Structure 1
């Protein structure tokens, strides 16, 4: 087995696991978490991918969001990758929380020295799903969601890989990273000053030209979110751009008083998982396709 089990805990009659593996894409050892619901003991179940935000690891969502109970109810697996390559020892990698370690932005870097390891887009859309489907009791049917940088990741993965995901939602996503203050600096570091290269990983720039299956997108945003107030997220820009595409429908819900953290995420996690469960299996039962 290509996976090394790092931990396993019983949770809502399923299993919360953490695995490590050697990634060919990132050229380093990586960890990811997976919750396997009770039904996975006897059959394959569909899988929901969650992409975390800046500074996070696979641990934040599995310890703070309360998603396991809902995934157990629907009999869907939850896979939570890390947010960047680890232990590659690049100069400048740990100088700031906004770039480098914990800040992979789910893109394929083209600039040295980042281009050797920072290929998180290929990792989360290709290598990790192939590994999970080979080694764990899951089907190829998948959905994706995420938070902040991970919300950005979920949106671009769905938009750049039409038909690969049954559904996509996001909590406080960075919707326009090629122009927003914090994210644009990171994108320039990974991709250089090429505007087109940055826009290729910008959901607001991508959504107008999306030509895949009909996509209904839920975005939840707290009004007391400091990153939202500082114009680092810009969900309204994404909504405006999506309005021109008949294959995209966006619902932006604003929640009074909520901030950017996991109290916010946990408050609306059930809504998101319910949406994905319905898309993964029409009856929400987690039946294998």
Structure 2
């Protein structure tokens, strides 16, 4: 598969790159970013996948997360895809929470979305294979994280793929799309009205159905204006408690939903991932 280099920039001794390729999953060009820390020739490093939230591209986290120094310190590659397919021929919606920029990491089954909105297949299958072929990643040492809609993505991708990820974390995740306006709109639009088909895209439902994560860390701001209506962190707290899962869900006083919140705690998350990825 041909990989086009959009840009490469030295950062904390490593390389921050942006790349483009023709995706078989989405039928479009897809752009993603990769930070590779400085490392010995021939060395393979653990990889942390980062999934971003509504309205984001590959670029938001790259500029606003401030993860580079921690990744360089701990020797962790970070990969961040776009949040949806894009282009003039790709279906879209006028609202910010559906269509381009709002793929919700699902495989759409409803028209006109099904042709291009295959983000689950893209992040679970196509992108990992592409990264493994082109970057010095050790695919036996993978972690995953994300923010908001991307937190939902990180949780559900990990829960559906037991044993793939040594560590899973999330910032301000949508923990139960089946039970919030953002999720109900997206899942209805992409998957139709059959709520049984939604369960594999809902972290709380997946846990209820028996899926488990060995190492889970969640960070949520108490001043997040989406907490009560969209994120509903307490639903995840209830789910992990009933399942007997070992999870750390930290409620941070005074913090909102923004990248200011994410950037405050991202170094702690990367250190936490690194400890598990290097064990």
Flag whether TM exceeds 0.5 (same fold). Answer: yes
How far 1:105 sits from its partner (Å)?
0.2
The answer to whether structure 1 residue 209 and structure 2 residue 187 are counterparts is no
Contact 2:90–2:116 under 8 Å retained in 1:
no
Superposed CA deviations along residues 138-164 of structure 1, whole A, max 9, x for unmatched, are 111211000000000000000011111
User: Where does residue 114 of structure 2 map in the other structure?
Assistant: 115
**Mean CA deviation greater in 153-162 or 248-257:** 248-257
Does the alignment pair 1:132 with 2:131?
yes
> How far apart are residue 89 of structure 1 and its match?
2.5
Alpha-carbon spacing, 1:22–1:258, altered in 2? closer, same or farther (3 Å) = same
Superposed CA offset, 1:11-51 (max 9, x none) = 00000000000100111000000000001654211110000
Deviates more, 1:137-146 or 1:202-211: 202-211
Deviation, structure 1 residue 88: 5.4
User: Which of 253, 257, 261 pairs up with 1:260?
Assistant: 257
The alpha-carbon distance between structure 1 residues 206 and 222, as it changes in their structure 2 partners (threshold 3 A), is same
- TM-score scaled by length of structure 2: 0.96
Deviations 1:196-227 (A, max 9, x none): 11122000100123355x51211111111111
TM normalised by structure 1 equals: 0.93
DSSP 3-state at the match of 1:97: coil
Aligned to 1:193: 193
- In structure 2, what is the equivalent of residue 167 of structure 1? 167
1:1-289 equivalences under 5 Å are 2-39=2-39, 41-87=41-87, 89-91=89-91, 93-140=92-139, 141-211=141-211, 215-229=214-228, 231-246=229-244, 248-282=245-279
Q: Distance in 1 between matches of 2:211 and 2:220?
A: 26
Q: Note closer, same or farther for the CA distance 1:178–1:31 as it changes in structure 2 (3 Å cut).
A: same
Superposed CA deviations along residues 166-218 of structure 1, whole A, max 9, x for unmatched, are 11000000001012012211110000000111122000100123355x51211
Contact 1:107–1:121 (CA under 8 A) maintained in structure 2:
yes
SS at match of 2:104: coil
Between the two proteins, the alignment pairs up a number of residues equal to 278
The DSSP-based 3-state class of the residue aligned with 1:123 is helix
What is the root-mean-square deviation in Å for CA atoms of aligned residues?
1.3
Q: Structure 1 residues 40, 152: CA separation in 2 closer, same or farther (over 3 Å shift)? A: farther
Deviates more, 1:18-27 or 1:135-144: 135-144
How far apart in 1 are the matches of 2:122 and 2:162? 17
Structure 2 unaligned regions, length at least 5? none
Structure 1 spans left out of the alignment, 5+ residues: 283-289
Q: SS in structure 1 opposite 2:208? A: helix
Deviation at residue 94 of structure 1 after TM alignment: 3.5
